[in-house]
Structure 1
Amino acid sequence: MTRRPDSPPGRPRISVVGVIGELLITAGVFVFLFLGWQLWLNDIVVGSAQREDAMAFSRELGSAAPPATPLDPDTEFGEPVVSPASAETVAFANIYIPRFGDDYVRTIAEGVDASNVLRSGVGHYPGTQMPGEVGNFAVAAHRTTYGAPFNRIAELTVGDRIYVQTSDGWYTYAFRSMEYVLPTAIEVLEPVPHAPGMAASERIITLTSCNPMLSAAERIIAYGVFEDWQPASAGAPEELAELNLGGT
């Protein structure tokens, strides 16, 4: 019996489901790459630009102050000078947090508009107190995207210094505590957090951001207490002077 030769294999059939699957995989790769850019590399690039802007602003603040002169370490400067609030979106201060990196510095502008102020750094809640003022100097910034100024907020430990520089001088706060609240808990912005109507007797700083990472389900709140201040003519605090970050 003569055997018929095997037929050559046919071309594999391409199904619609297979094509859609390939397209979804490709789209997923592009989405992953975009998120990598947006949440990592872009934050590095934008954060670096924000730091450069803050350093330039620090030099601007320093150039407006009298030349720094050597001072006795025990010099006391009395009550801190408190400046009036700035116009909306205007930068009026720098914030330095060594725990976030030896070269960490960002500008603080008036307002917390997510589409404007918080794209370029740290924002000050209008209506809360100013640096050095009795009450609550409250600020906000992103943990991810737009340079992620408060990306490392959860790493703060008790005693970490938070420095604020204005045209008047330098204000030093020390981190004391942290909590997590719902986005509706605006009482953290009161002069005495969680105590509406109570008269403030202390000077504090409140840092706020979203929690957990990549979510706005909660707010992470970091509190610091005022330690001291020195006028611009005294130069930067010692810790910052050693890092050459102060601009004066």
Structure 2
Amino acid sequence: MRRAVSVVGELLVTAGVLTLLFVVWQLHWTDLTSGRAQAATVSSLEQRWERTDPTPTAAPSQQPAEQPADPPVDPVAVPGVGQPFAILHVPRFAADYAVPVVEGTGTEELKDGIGHYTRTVMPGQVGNFAVAGHRVTYGKPFHQVAELRDGDAVVVQTATQWLTYRVRSHEIVRPQQVSVIAPVPDQPGAAPTQAWLTMTACHPMHSARQRYVVHALLESVRDRADGPPDSLAPPAG
């Protein structure tokens, strides 16, 4: 009996150590490795875009650098699943916050950055450009999503444009409430007339019981060749 109890005790201790190591790996090591990989992807995208930067079609005095989001911007080509195609900047999170956006929201895609829901529109198009990201593990790009405030800028950088969205609302929903990524958020079946961005992440922290959702509306569009928009500046307060 004593021997059996001793063996069981050793097994429990071993299981506890293995569980602790798994937690450390899940919470910290994946952040480190995915964070480095995502930063490398951002650098690669920017270098590729710099080699193919379009030249402005008119001098700044003839054409304003930033234009209202009406009419909608030209469509962006739909990438293949897993392919990075944009960079998300959120000044509220950090002045240097820049995370790649990849096509798809599967497990593998979310390791590589922020995932784009494949059945939603591309950046700047009328409808809902909806994305998902981890709040913990794998670089945790949406760790601070609940800190966003109404009016905060969320800037999407593509090969040709800077698109500035402004936060308009927050909500917490059940995972099954997919209406949050409808073309008109929370209005399934409604015909869209505006360009939205929706950010989704698990809620509460360390749980997948609910989803934290932020909706933002496209405010302005700027040609990438004209340089970054003023909206990239960190918010006051």
- Tell me the TM-score normalised to structure 2 length: 0.85
* Aligned partner letter, 1:107: P
* Aligned partner letter, 1:206: T
Which residue of the other structure, out of 8, 18, 22, is the alignment partner of 1:20?
8
Q: How does 1:1-248 map to 2 (within 5 A)?
A: 15-66=3-54, 71=60, 75-77=65-67, 79=71, 80-114=73-107, 116-238=108-230, 240=232
* Aligned partner letter, 2:147: E
Partners of 1:174 and 1:15 lie apart in 2 by: 65
Partners of 1:56 and 1:223 lie apart in 2 by: 29
Report which stretch shifted further, 226-235 or 142-151: 142-151
Does the 8 Å CA contact 1:175/1:224 hold for their aligned counterparts?
A: yes
SS across alignment from 1:170: strand
What is the count of residue pairs matched by the alignment? Answer: 229
Percent sequence identity over matched residues?
39
* Aligned partner letter, 1:147: G
Partners of 1:241 and 1:157 lie apart in 2 by: 15
Q: For the structure 1 residues 141 and 202, does the alpha-carbon distance in structure 2 shift closer, same or farther, using more than 3 Å as the test?
A: same
Partners of 2:188 and 2:174 lie apart in 1 by: 17
Q: Provide, for residues 70-116 of structure 1, a one-character-per-residue CA deviation record: whole Å limited to 9, x for no partner.
A: 946964546433323223322221111122222221211222222x3
Q: Provide, for residues 13-47 of structure 1, a one-character-per-residue CA deviation record: whole Å limited to 9, x for no partner.
A: 95432442243124313311320222123313321
Does the 8 Å CA contact 2:34/2:111 hold for their aligned counterparts?
A: no
Where structure 1 has 5 or more consecutive residues not aligned to the other structure, the ranges are: 1-12, 243-248
* Aligned partner letter, 2:79: S
SS across alignment from 1:27: helix
Partners of 1:217 and 1:16 lie apart in 2 by: 39
Structure with larger Rg: 1
Q: For the structure 1 residues 44 and 100, does the alpha-carbon distance in structure 2 shift closer, same or farther, using more than 3 Å as the test?
A: farther
Q: For the structure 1 residues 121 and 154, does the alpha-carbon distance in structure 2 shift closer, same or farther, using more than 3 Å as the test?
A: same
TM-superposed CA distance for 1:207, in Å, is 0.6
Partners of 2:90 and 2:38 lie apart in 1 by: 14
Partners of 2:163 and 2:79 lie apart in 1 by: 17
1:10 paired residue number: none
Where structure 2 has 5 or more consecutive residues not aligned to the other structure, the ranges are: none
- Tell me the TM-score normalised to structure 1 length: 0.82
TM-superposed CA distance for 1:142, in Å, is 1.8
Q: Provide, for residues 139-190 of structure 1, a one-character-per-residue CA deviation record: whole Å limited to 9, x for no partner.
A: 1122222222222212212222111111221100112221111111111111
Report which stretch shifted further, 163-172 or 35-44: 35-44
Q: Provide, for residues 196-222 of structure 1, a one-character-per-residue CA deviation record: whole Å limited to 9, x for no partner.
A: 121112211001121222222211111
